[in-house]
Structure 1
Amino acid sequence: MTTRMKGKRLLGAGFALGLVLAMLSANQVAADKYEHLAMTPPMGWNSWNNFGCNVDEKLIKATADAMVKTGMKDVGYEYVNIDDCWHGDRDANGRIQVDKERFPSGMKALADYMHKRGLKLGIYSDAGWRTCAGKPGSRGYEFQDAKTYAEWGVDYLKYDWCETDGLKAEGAYMTISRALKAAGRPMVLSICEWGDNDPWKWASPLGQLWRTTGDIYACFDCEYDHGTWSSWGVLQILDMQDGLRKYAGPGHWNDPDMMEVGNGMSAEEDRAHFSMWAMLAAPLIAGNDLRNMSKETLSIVTNKDVIAVDQDELGIQGFKLKSKDGVDVWFKPLANGEWAMAALNRNNHDQTFKFGFRNEKIVDDLTKREVDFNAEIYTWQDLWNKDNKGNTKDLIKTTIKRHDVLMLKLTPKGAWEHKKPKGH
């Protein structure tokens, strides 16, 4: 580290400390986040999965236009989030600047562009000295950066965890949460410390969502070993959500990372990925190139019925009922007494799936909701094949393709007065 760099960091730290003390003395800093944000899981797009550091103003504007043109905005997507590498240097006063070659109009103009289209702008920073791509982080500049973001009109901040040696995660995220509150503009805070410090246990008062795992990548059932850390496939990340559902709910969500739909997996894998994120009540943050989507990809990310499962007003994360023959069966309580059900084929081959509702009593230990299909009839609708429908009196027997999913919504139709023997 050069003397000049040390001096800049000390200046930033001193500025931030002075600002914090001044605000504390004025009783202006609240301990908690902005409430009433992200009462359903956030929906939007993020640049990292597909573009990495190759971001600029033209791409972000074109993505916003595509979000509107394709109908994604109409089904609930609203955040256009710029990940790492938008940063320039800090000026003489420590104020963060945009990379002027990539973003010549500045971030305020870009936020205005979003807002005129009914969208919202998200950006990225890091709790450490530098971001994961080596750009200026917010350590020592938290209150100054939050104030700058507010002046720009930013609506969402993803806050990463690189170069954070010596920091305690809970304290670092408390600082940025207070800084955002003090800045006076409601912003969603996406806590991205990869689940290393059990954020589900402490992050709810600080942010609206927190990462539960390391990074995802576009593979259904894989681990990508980087040496000192790993990226994970869809199934690996899904399994890492075990035991976390009690921490999620309106305004505070478990985040299994951004989606890889449209980034190279099969259509069946994309469909299963999207379905299981909906069952998890996960944020639906697309990570593909919205300007060049196939019709199949677009049909997946705009499936209103699956999105409705994710966005259900109760905000209850689903749970795995059982696994048999490589098929996981999940249930998710919904509003109005409805349920979502997903049967996920984890196998590398097509699998016959049988499910007799009357042989199952569904009990959710978290919410204490339950249903006995011998006492109550539900109709069901296949959320991917609208022609496929039935009711819980009948046995389901179907073939689920390799790495695909059967996803149903169950709607109660009242008590079943004339019971039939189990196993029908």
Structure 2
Amino acid sequence: MVLTIKAQKFEGLAPKPPMGWNSWNKFGCQINEKIIKEVADAMASNGMKAAGYEYIVVDDCWQIGRDSVGNIVADPERFPSGMKSLVDYVHSKGLKFGIYSDAGTATCQGRPGSRGYEFQDARAYAKWEVDYLKYDWCFHGKQNSEASYSIMRDALYKAGRPMVLSICEWGTTKPWEWGKSVGHLWRTTEDIINCFDCKNNWGGLGVLQIIDLHTEIGDYSGPDHWNDPDMLEIGNGVLTPAEERLHLSMWAMFSAPLMAGNDIRNISAETLKLLTNKEVLDIDQDILGISATRWMKYGDLEIWFKPLSDNNYAFCLINRSNQSIAINQDLKTTIKKLKVDDSYVVRDLWKHKDIGTTKENITGIIPAHDVLMLKLTKK
């Protein structure tokens, strides 16, 4: 009798949303092993690793072709030491390594895709000791997305090295409905672009547009199967400090993967402080992994709500408008709607201070495009 092992996803690799850095938003195709090593050096030493960031993900353009037997080949000019050497370097810093491919015949930048080579590529990544695969969706023709991603899931499992599988088909076929058994996270939207409130003709979306696409899909996300609203644009020089706070706050409220997309080799003190705000990151990394619900909407003021472990809660009040908004919010009544008592301490997670309890209204001014992010802790 011949025993067969049913292929499946590696379970338990992402009990909390993955955190790390991806090369695409800042560098695009202009990547090489020197940059990646310097980024790894920076992450390991500047406080980001200590804050929970652990993946270094090399996006598109690392690959240049295939050899005579079909093995994927890294660009020898940009990666002269080879990918295994680079992976080893990242691992030597106590970090994990991620790589990029595509379910179609070519990547989005026209490099070799994995269609027809899924098992061969998975064996290569396993041999290199890769920890994470971002798998894109360009040049896919008439392929079925669930089937295509399932093939790579099976290939990774057969290759034998546990890897996080990041499904990146831009939300076009509702991967939240089928992705739980296939990957560990799935993109819910088109690519993020470096702006607060905008979109362009190829489908790129700003921060607000991405937030709006998460009002109905939060229930699909959780430990080991995360909604992914795409990488962070924090530190890339376009968003204001207020907009960057709102950006990170809402990604944390969504329990979203947090992939920095800036040049962390030259990170400013302000950006580093923002990205490593432990109180905000703790909301993202809460063990329950529940995504926020939009609780109320008053014109340009929205209130998002998220249950946390230990019977605590997070609330995020965001100001979408170009003007300041005065607030006088009765959290006591809101809490009663949750059928719990009202004895909670209210803490401002950006100011790092307690600002009252749920026995009093929360009052103040939220500036344009800014956020008030609160944690309610049981007294």
TM over 0.5: yes
Equivalent residue number for residue 418 of structure 1: none
1:267-323 CA-to-partner distances (Å, cap 9, x unmatched) read: 100010000000000000110110111111111100001000000001111111001
Equivalent residue number for residue 331 of structure 1: 305
> Offset of 1:390 from its aligned partner?
1.2
> Offset of 1:26 from its aligned partner?
5.9
Question: Is contact 1:190-1:208 (8 Å) kept?
Answer: yes
Q: Aligned equivalents of 2:336 and 2:135: distance in 1?
A: 38
* 2:328 paired with 1:351: no
1:231-266 CA-to-partner distances (Å, cap 9, x unmatched) read: 000000000012111111100000011111111210
Q: Aligned equivalents of 2:190 and 2:3: distance in 1?
A: 39
> Offset of 1:371 from its aligned partner?
4.0
Question: Is contact 2:346-2:357 (8 Å) kept?
Answer: yes
The one of 358, 361, 376 equivalent to 1:395 is 361
> Offset of 1:359 from its aligned partner?
2.9
> Offset of 1:412 from its aligned partner?
1.3
**Counterpart mapping for 1:106-125 below 5 A:** 106-125=82-101
Q: Aligned equivalents of 1:151 and 1:26: distance in 2?
A: 25
Amino acid at match of 2:353: D
Amino acid at match of 2:375: K
Find the residue that maps to 1:213 and give its secondary structure. Answer: coil
Amino acid at match of 1:27: T
> Offset of 1:325 from its aligned partner?
4.0
The one of 4, 8, 17 equivalent to 1:41 is 17
Find the residue that maps to 2:215 and give its secondary structure. Answer: coil
**Counterpart mapping for 1:3-402 below 5 A:** 27-30=4-7, 32-225=8-201, 229-263=202-236, 264-361=238-335, 370-372=338-340, 375-402=341-368
1:73-105 CA-to-partner distances (Å, cap 9, x unmatched) read: 001000000000000210000000110100011
Runs of 4+ in 1 over 6 A off after TM superposition: none
Amino acid at match of 1:391: T
1:196-234 CA-to-partner distances (Å, cap 9, x unmatched) read: 001111111110000011000111111122xxx310000
> Offset of 1:166 from its aligned partner?
1.9
Question: Is contact 2:103-2:140 (8 Å) kept?
Answer: yes
**Runs of 5+ in structure 2 lacking a partner?**
none
Per the alignment, do residues 355 and 197 of structure 1 end up closer, same or farther by CA in structure 2, a change over 3 Å counting? same
Q: Aligned equivalents of 1:40 and 1:135: distance in 2?
A: 32
Question: Is contact 2:118-2:151 (8 Å) kept?
Answer: yes
**Runs of 5+ in structure 1 lacking a partner?**
1-24, 364-369, 414-424
Larger CA deviation: 78-87 vs 341-350: 341-350
Give the count of matched residue pairs: 377
Equivalent residue number for residue 416 of structure 1: none
Find the residue that maps to 2:21 and give its secondary structure. Answer: strand
Find the residue that maps to 1:231 and give its secondary structure. Answer: coil
Amino acid at match of 1:140: G
Larger CA deviation: 279-288 vs 387-396: 387-396
Find the residue that maps to 2:251 and give its secondary structure. Answer: helix
Per the alignment, do residues 165 and 325 of structure 1 end up closer, same or farther by CA in structure 2, a change over 3 Å counting? closer
Find the residue that maps to 1:390 and give its secondary structure. Answer: strand
The one of 370, 375, 379 equivalent to 1:404 is 370
> Offset of 1:387 from its aligned partner?
3.5
What percentage of residue pairs aligned between the two structures are identical? 53
Amino acid at match of 1:277: W
Equivalent residue number for residue 20 of structure 1: none
Amino acid at match of 2:268: S
Q: Aligned equivalents of 1:230 and 1:191: distance in 2?
A: 18
Question: Is contact 1:29-1:181 (8 Å) kept?
Answer: no
Amino acid at match of 1:394: E
Amino acid at match of 1:384: W
Question: Is contact 2:305-2:313 (8 Å) kept?
Answer: yes
